[in-house]
Chains A and B, each alone.
Chain A
Amino acid sequence: MDPIPAADSPLIRIEGLVKTYSLGEVEVPALRGLSLEVQRGEFVAIMGASGSGKSTFMNLLGCLDVPSRGSYHLEGVDVGRLSRDQLARIRNRRIGFVFQGFNLLSRTSALENVELPLLYDTVSNAERHRRAAAALERVGLGDRMRHYPNQLSGGQQQRVAIARALVNDPSIVLADEPTGNLDSRTSVEILGLFQQLNAQGITVILVTHEPDIAQFAGRHIVFRDGRIRSDRANPSPRRAAEVLADMPESEDEEEAA
């Protein structure tokens, strides 16, 4: 039942990926055939204008959707052949999502939000609390565990979301415009957190339409009209820690701290 990862294969291998949506009679192509590989430990930024297919691509990467044609192997497993429940299991165990709108459950504490993925796994209650608390510590919110999302700043909410993405020790963290709702300083802080996690060996794939944000990633893939226009390494990504040092203190963060 549980797919066995093949150690020698790339983390992600995509070949001839096509995704079409049917709007009534009309077939609308969102992805027109793309191939790429992502190795473990990469920090990839996916860029492109809206309508370029990058969101569709993220949904496929995140196993929220399956390709129309072509193949997607995640850790050697052909995702296209999996059932709905098997996809849910992959999302649960191998993928961490970070969204633009945070997508936390309101009126649910930070700790419980982070525990959410573990509720759908076979983890004891004590273990669940321990791992969720550890994940919150990891994103620097050890002292905010009992806070509700409406008691947290935007940056803190996104940290909770990142902790939730990390709690199941995923193979990849997929971040869809994670800084879209944040001010520039908080954005850099969140990117710093991603860089830090990446340095610890976590593969991060980040979707953004802002070139500034993409500068923090080690590889840039640009989408246009459902195809990859360019895919090149960024030999000198910006260091979030250095950028932060040159920025003025944010009032928002002070207030929330």
Chain B
Amino acid sequence: MKMANTLRSAARALRRNKMRSFLTMLGIIIGVAAVIAMLALGQGAEYSVKQQISALGTNVLIIFPGSQQQGTVRFGAGSVTTLTEDDARAITEECPAVAYVSPGSRAGGQVVAGNLNWGTIVEGTGADYLFIRQWAVEYGEFYTEPDVKAAAKVCVLGGTVADALFPDATPVGQTIRIRNVPVKVIGVLARKGQNAMGMDQDDVILAPYTTVLRRMSHFPYLRQILVSAVSTEAIPEAQRQVTELLRQRHKITPWAEDDFTIRNQADIVATATETTKILTVLLAGIASVSLFVGGIGIMNIMLVSVTERTREIGIRMAVGARGTDILAQFLVEALALSLIGGLLGIGLGLAGSSLITNLAQWPTIITPLSVALSFGFAFVVGIFFGFYPARKAANLNPIEALRYE
């Protein structure tokens, strides 16, 4: 039979049972829509993670104190306290590939301003911290190198903390108490919003790291050193220079492991995108299960259809339809179900994705590839699940088919 006639006869057969055809398609529609929406969600997450990590500042290297080893037992990162203020100073002076250095310390606790209080984190940083993080002060000013040297009792508030402690007043110029240390607020940071992990980056107080170390945490070692390379290209060189310098300063013999860890922005981005990629694959995988189930629905209905139309098949065979004609007829019907379902599913997937973005404020990204992928999957499902019923129809014995009641 000619293809155009086969198509026409398939369209007629599907129209004959409109409700049934639609319900059969629904499985594919939902499957394709789910795959598209999940891919869109995953890729949206991947994109925003990348965005937010680069918002952390570019060219950034983070140096953590390394792991301690006793015999063969190795403790986690930070279990040994090896990073000192002198290390930070040495990096500033001796590593030409490094642009800015900001030693880091941290204290947590309840912060009090007047009759209000707020639990937050106090990040001790160097004076160049904002350059490394590519952050800015919105009101007031940031502390300077002399403030850091003098462990001055000054701080800069993140937007969230400023809101919490000074809902009505201007924070700049006020004094707050951090762990019973009175500290003067000299500035408020511009808002950054959530980070990749969903944490509020504005829920923080910045203070000179010396102030945090000496007046709040009373702990002589640095928690980390934040370093920025002079350029993106210089990141590996900066990492090499810092590694060399610190090994030398920590007197690490050539075959021994580093007692510190350096992570750079690219690694973090790679790790985070790897995670969201896994998430995307997982989501799409789960969604494609429903597409698979939709395919089983097609097979089920096609089998019913072949049984119902046994007599029709017999008539067609008697007047000269070959096995391949019958096979083509039923395969085209199954394919039509899955492809029309696929098209409607794409529409539903696009609509669903924009609904997710609008209602849940989650970013979604639809790529032509994900649309093509899910539609292609629907096609494969149609062929795969349509073939068995179609072959069953084609292999019917015409005499028995004609006699079928």
Chain A residues in contact with chain B, CB under 8 A? 59, 62, 64-65, 84-85, 88-89, 91-93, 97, 99, 103-105, 107, 116-117, 119-121, 164, 168
Contact = CB atoms under 8 A, between A and B. Distances in A.
A59 B319 CA distance: 13
Nearest to A65: B399
B322 interface: yes
Contact of B323 (A84, A103, A164): A84
19 contacts: A64-B317, A64-B318, A64-B402, A85-B322, A85-B323, A85-B324, A88-B325, A89-B320, A91-B319, A91-B320, A97-B318, A99-B402, A103-B311, A104-B315, A105-B312, A116-B316, A117-B319, A119-B2, A120-B316
Contacts of A117: 319-320
Interface of B is mostly: helix
Contact of B320 (A59, A105, A107, A120): A120
B321 A88 contact: yes
B297 interface: no
A116 B319 contact: yes
B398 interface: yes
A119 B315 contact: no
Given A88-B322, A103-B318, 11 more contacts: A62-B318, A64-B318, A64-B402, A88-B317, A89-B322, A103-B402, A105-B312, A116-B316, A116-B319, A117-B319, A120-B320
Contacts of B361: none
A117 B317 CA distance: 9
A75 to B, nearest CB: 16
A93 B318 contact: no
Interface string B1-17: 11001000100000010
A68 B319 CA distance: 23
Nearest to A102: B315
A103 B16 CA distance: 19
A88 B322 CA distance: 6
Interface in B1-58: 1-2, 5, 9, 16
B136 to A, nearest CB: 74
Interface in B170-215: none
Given A105-B315, A107-B16, A120 B322 contact: yes
Interface centre among A99, A119, A121, A164 (most CB of B within 10 A): A119
B392 to A, nearest CB: 15
A84 B322 contact: yes
A120 B402 contact: no
B393 to A, nearest CB: 14
Interface residues of B, number: 22
Contacts of B1: 119-120
A49 B325 CA distance: 36
A104 B399 CA distance: 16
Interface string B311-341: 1101111111111110000000000000000
Contacts of A92: 319-321
B322 A116 contact: no
A91 B16 CA distance: 28
Which 5 interchain pairs have the tightest Cβ spacing?
A: A92-B320, A117-B319, A120-B320, A88-B322, A85-B322
Contacts of A64: 317-318, 398-399, 402
Most buried by B among A88, A93, A104, A117: A88
Nearest to A88: B322
Contacts of B316: 116, 120
A59 B322 contact: no
A88 B319 CA distance: 8
Interface string B112-142: 0000000000000000000000000000000
A1 to B, nearest CB: 13
Given A62-B318, A97-B319, A164-B319, A120 B311 contact: no
B312 A91 contact: no
Contacts of A105: 312, 315
A103 B315 contact: yes
Contacts of B318: 62, 64, 91, 97, 103
Contacts of A107: 16
A99 B311 CA distance: 12
B311 A88 contact: no
